[in-house]
Structure 1
Amino acid sequence: MDRDVLADTPGRLHVFTPLVEAPRRFLRFISTTPGLLTVVSIVLVAAILAAGGAMAATSGSRQGELNTMVNRSEPVSFAAQELYNSLSVANAVATTGFLSDSSRTADTRQQYREAVNTATSAVVRAANGTDDPSSREMTLILEIQEKLPFYISLVTEAGANNRQGYPLGAAYITQASTMMQDELLPAAAELHSRTSSSLADQQHRLTRPSWFALSGLVAAVIMLIIAQFWLAAWSNRRISAGYATATVLMAAALIWAGISAFTTWHEGPRGVVGTSQPLQTLTALRIEVQQARSTEVLGLVQRDYTADNQSDFSDRVASIDTQLEELREAAENQETRDQIDGARESLRSWDNSHAQMVSMVRQGDYTDAVQATVGDEDGGVSASFTSLDSDLEDLIDESREQLRDYLSDAGRAASQVNLLVLVLSLLSILCIIQGTRPRLQEYL
């Protein structure tokens, strides 16, 4: 009797007993129909949450990167482009002003002051947008900050000597222009190239489809299809409306995300090329125009307009015209094509006026050559150059606006995909619960 009583008495519980018994209890639970239904529902809900969460997280990350590009990377690239342009404009205005009016120094000319102020501001903005102080970009920025004051002082000395009639002014303006074209502009060009390439690389990365998140949605849809056929066979009933609805919703999420990924993958690279590339090309063209203008005026300042100068100018004009023609062929709207046609017409007018100026120099008519170069008459060298520069500036502003619109549109598209997938995933979970509940109630 004592042994029977002891045998029926519960044994002493060990601290690890619940942990050891948990697998056995779970196996006994899933061996029952309600338990198996519950586990299948939980697995489906987890799969949907994982797939929807992964897609939402990927879309959110993509949207965050796009916001960073719009608010940080693109402004830094634009600051570098603005720095590049303004330095070239300052040099062209300084050399032209030296030739046109000896009674004024460059720092008294509004266009020169605006160009220098713009360059200074752009350097600061580029520095603020550069995170790594040891990067090549920061080295270039510091180099420009160090050499720009020295260039300004050379231009000021040139103007002061020219105003007093000293021939030394020509040496100063030549030294300043050489410094700009050999040191400052190459540094600004490299900075612009690096920031533009970084922006383009970020855009290319964002055109890659989110294969991992898409595979999660595919897996969730497959699991839902298998689960609803299993449930129909297990219960000898028709397909569950809740499971079928969840499958349709997740399939819709997959189709939407897939179309978005395919569109991004297929159209994204073309969008990058169609927005970033024209901006870089137009910036380089405007710099080339400014350098051609500086070389043109500097030849008159030195009173030595050689055949090499003319050959260099002709080569630049031919290169500019070829690139403008390529941009026109790639342009997608007629308004842009018309603007490029206007720029090419200004370029041809400048080339013709320049040829007349060179003819005057070779005939010894230096005074008329100077007047033709810096005068304001319609169709002259100065008017044609100003018109061309203005056309290129407008095209640059338009290209930048297209780039920012493209990035903003991509950010909104990523946000819409994120929201839709989240909503459809939550609705699918509710449908799974609703589809499982009637089967469980049959055993209560």
Structure 2
Amino acid sequence: MGVRLPATMSNGALWLRRFATTTPGVISAVLVVTAVLCVFSGFVSANQLGDKIARRDIVLERTEPLAYAAQSLYVALSAADASAAAAFLSGGIESPEVRGRYQQALADAAGALAEATTGASDAQTRSIVARISADLPAYTGLVEAARANNRQGFPVGSAYLREASTLMQSSLLPNAEQLSNNRFAAVRHDQDDIGAVPLTSVALLLLVMIACGVGSFVLLWRTNRRMNLGLAAAAAATAIVLLWSVAATLIAATGVDTGKSGASTRFETLAQARILAQQARTDETLQLITRGDITAGEADFIKHTHALADRLASTTGPESAAAQAFASWTAGHGRQKDAYEAANYPAALAQAIGTAPESSATRFAALDDALRNELAQVRAELRDGVDSAGGSLAFSPSGTLILMVFAAAAVTVGLWSRLKEFL
């Protein structure tokens, strides 16, 4: 036997069912549903737009600086390897300048590693940091062993240096590159979030407008009133919020342009170009250590310089300082290769690590400076774009919430005047 409601509750439920079929009941239902939907849509819209502004702050304060630090880590590690090779090739006791470049590169790498992994909590980043932290002391130990043997004229020094470079090329640099790729992926993800249309908000706002339309139809059907000012005002306010949300987001998406010609893409491409340049410079110096067949090393050099040329062509243009420095450096490498193949090792060595204006070392330094300057300019463009994207979203969270609360109030006032006719 079923449980029966008390008479008072049963009568109340029956009254509500009957009231819901009357004109005042239908109007009351429209009022409650539409007003609640207005307020809910306002909170959702404000929250989504506010998240975009917060994401802008995250890009400027965290993800972009970490991406820049990650590529700086790779460059510093690669520069340390090239400097160690140059110090070894100089023979005996290297000059304070060469030694200083190596020590500075290691210090830069340590600083960049600390900055690039600040606040990292994911397992992949912790694993990368652990591997780099374990390999870096081993690398420096091998370099110091090579240096000590080289100063005493022991041939085994070259074996230590090759082992150190192998550790750098097979572990340290791949881990640094993976960290850099992860950091740039995070920048792209945050930028995509800023420029993405808030679909949930758009759907809810369209639902509010439909509810206002349904309410107007109900009033026409039940009361023969063609228009209700409250519902019309609510629909107008909702339309303003909808246009504001979409327009602000589209303007923000323009600011964080992630297309092929956008600052974000050029920033990442130039970072990759600088990494490729360091890889090619390492190939160039390591060729002279073994004093044997350089075919494999030259193939790696050509592979890296061709990839570097493609990136420069897509970002800086043929007349840029970076492109000109690149052409000058590769021409110098050609002279180094010709001297080596002519069995003129001293000339090849002087071209590779000498201090003359036409040496590969001098010309590569000019290329790296040009790439660093290009990267700084594009980085500034990227940050300005992200900052302006946040500016286009300014006041949108509070503005949309206020308008939707106004819409709810307009619905309440407009339909309450109709309800009073039945009281």
TMscore range, shorter length? 0.7 to 0.9
Q: How does 1:251-266 map to 2 (within 5 A)?
A: 251-260=239-248
Alignment correspondent of 1:371: 350
1:27-58 Cα deviation digits (max 9, x unpaired): 46556665554443222211211222222233
Matching residue within 238, 256, 264 for 1:250: 238
1:250 is displaced (CA, Å) by: 1.0
Matching residue within 87, 107, 110 for 2:100: 110
Does structure 1 residue 26 correspond to structure 2 residue 16? yes
Alignment correspondent of 2:302: 314
Q: How does 1:179-328 map to 2 (within 5 A)?
A: 179-204=167-192, 207-231=195-219, 234-237=222-225, 239-260=227-248, 270-271=258-259, 274-304=262-292, 306-328=294-316
Alignment correspondent of 2:333: 354
Larger deviation, residues 271-280 vs 344-353: 271-280
SS in 1 for 2:412: helix
User: Residue type matched to 2:204 in 1?
Assistant: G
User: Residue type matched to 2:93 in 1?
Assistant: S
1:120 is displaced (CA, Å) by: 1.8
Contact 1:288–1:316 (8 Å) recurs in 2: yes
User: Residue type matched to 1:424 in 2?
Assistant: L
Q: How far apart are the structure 2 equivalents of 1:305 and 1:86?
A: 28
Q: How far apart are the structure 1 equivalents of 2:25 and 2:306?
A: 80
1:290 is displaced (CA, Å) by: 1.5
Tell me how many residue pairs correspond in the alignment.
Answer: 420
Contact 1:200–1:272 (8 Å) recurs in 2: no
Alignment correspondent of 1:164: 152
Q: How far apart are the structure 2 equivalents of 1:95 and 1:201?
A: 38
Contact 2:257–2:264 (8 Å) recurs in 1: no
Does structure 1 residue 435 correspond to structure 2 residue 414? yes
Cα separation, partners in 2 of 1:76 and 1:265, compared to 1, 3 Å: closer
SS in 2 for 1:109: helix
SS in 1 for 2:358: coil
1:78-128 Cα deviation digits (max 9, x unpaired): 333222121111111221233346424889833322321222233334444
User: Residue type matched to 1:302 in 2?
Assistant: T
Q: How far apart are the structure 2 equivalents of 1:275 and 1:268?
A: 8
1:202 is displaced (CA, Å) by: 4.8
User: Residue type matched to 2:346 in 1?
Assistant: T
Contact 1:85–1:283 (8 Å) recurs in 2: no
Q: How far apart are the structure 1 equivalents of 2:224 and 2:308?
A: 77
Contact 2:195–2:250 (8 Å) recurs in 1: no
Larger deviation, residues 263-272 vs 349-358: 263-272
Q: How far apart are the structure 1 equivalents of 2:22 and 2:296?
A: 95
Cα separation, partners in 2 of 1:222 and 1:368, compared to 1, 3 Å: same
Please tell me whether Structure 1 or Structure 2 has the larger radius of gyration of its CA atoms: 1
Q: How far apart are the structure 2 equivalents of 1:246 and 1:22?
A: 32
Contact 1:107–1:156 (8 Å) recurs in 2: no
Does structure 1 residue 55 correspond to structure 2 residue 48? no
Cα separation, partners in 2 of 1:25 and 1:106, compared to 1, 3 Å: farther
Cα separation, partners in 2 of 1:16 and 1:417, compared to 1, 3 Å: farther
1:122-180 Cα deviation digits (max 9, x unpaired): 33344443213xx3332222111101001111222222333334333333222222221
Q: How far apart are the structure 2 equivalents of 1:286 and 1:171?
A: 28
Q: How far apart are the structure 2 equivalents of 1:53 and 1:272?
A: 35
SS in 1 for 2:154: coil
SS in 1 for 2:306: helix
SS in 1 for 2:372: helix
Alignment correspondent of 1:396: 375
For structure 2, the residue ranges without an aligned partner over 5 or more in a row are none
Q: How far apart are the structure 2 equivalents of 1:272 and 1:19?
A: 67
Contact 2:53–2:194 (8 Å) recurs in 1: no
Q: How far apart are the structure 2 equivalents of 1:361 and 1:229?
A: 89
Cα separation, partners in 2 of 1:280 and 1:220, compared to 1, 3 Å: same
Q: How far apart are the structure 1 equivalents of 2:387 and 2:158?
A: 49
SS in 2 for 1:304: coil
User: Residue type matched to 2:326 in 1?
Assistant: L
Q: How far apart are the structure 2 equivalents of 1:25 and 1:222?
A: 29
Contact 2:81–2:282 (8 Å) recurs in 1: yes
SS in 1 for 2:262: helix
1:65 is displaced (CA, Å) by: 4.3
Matching residue within 77, 84, 88 for 2:78: 88
User: Residue type matched to 1:396 in 2?
Assistant: L
User: Residue type matched to 2:114 in 1?
Assistant: V
User: Residue type matched to 1:371 in 2?
Assistant: A
Cα separation, partners in 2 of 1:372 and 1:269, compared to 1, 3 Å: closer
SS in 1 for 2:320: helix
CA RMSD of aligned residues (A): 3.4
Q: How far apart are the structure 2 equivalents of 1:94 and 1:125?
A: 24
Alignment correspondent of 1:332: none
Q: How far apart are the structure 1 equivalents of 2:388 and 2:272?
A: 27
Contact 2:252–2:392 (8 Å) recurs in 1: no
Alignment correspondent of 2:125: 137
Q: How far apart are the structure 1 equivalents of 2:253 and 2:285?
A: 49
For structure 1, the residue ranges without an aligned partner over 5 or more in a row are 1-13, 329-336
Does structure 1 residue 421 correspond to structure 2 residue 400? yes
Matching residue within 164, 168, 187 for 1:176: 164
TM (norm. structure 1) is 0.81
Contact 1:343–1:391 (8 Å) recurs in 2: yes
